[in-house]
Structure 1
Amino acid sequence: MTVLILSGVLVLVIGGCVCVFWAARGGPRWVRAVATATLAVGELLRVVDPLRSSNSKRVDSQRE
């Protein structure tokens, strides 16, 4: 079951990357919409990840 879920996530990620690549070359409107959503999710993860990693460093330093 986990392999199926991870495979689905991988397909979505690859599809999003293809849409970003295609939209950069002037694809149809739906491709540009998917590319915008993909870039927005990537930006959101980039903003959230430093917060998560700084929290884990803080917890690790408190354990020492």
Structure 2
Amino acid sequence: MAEHEPITHPEEMRAAGEIQIGKYIDLRGTARVTPAGLICAGIAGVAILLAAAALVRASRR
């Protein structure tokens, strides 16, 4: 990721990584997230876990 890209949100957090495996495989990844995005992802994760727990409990009856 280029250092000179403008930040679109004042609280935006960025991460970049690169992994090289052998001679021919080169993996690169970038991520951008805001604190509000992290909170929404956490709420979604909890909702999925609660739904899965309800399904497991219902299947045991």
TM-score between the two structures when normalised by the length of structure 1: 0.43
Greater fraction strand: 2
Bigger helix share: 1
User: Highest Rg: 1 or 2?
Assistant: 2
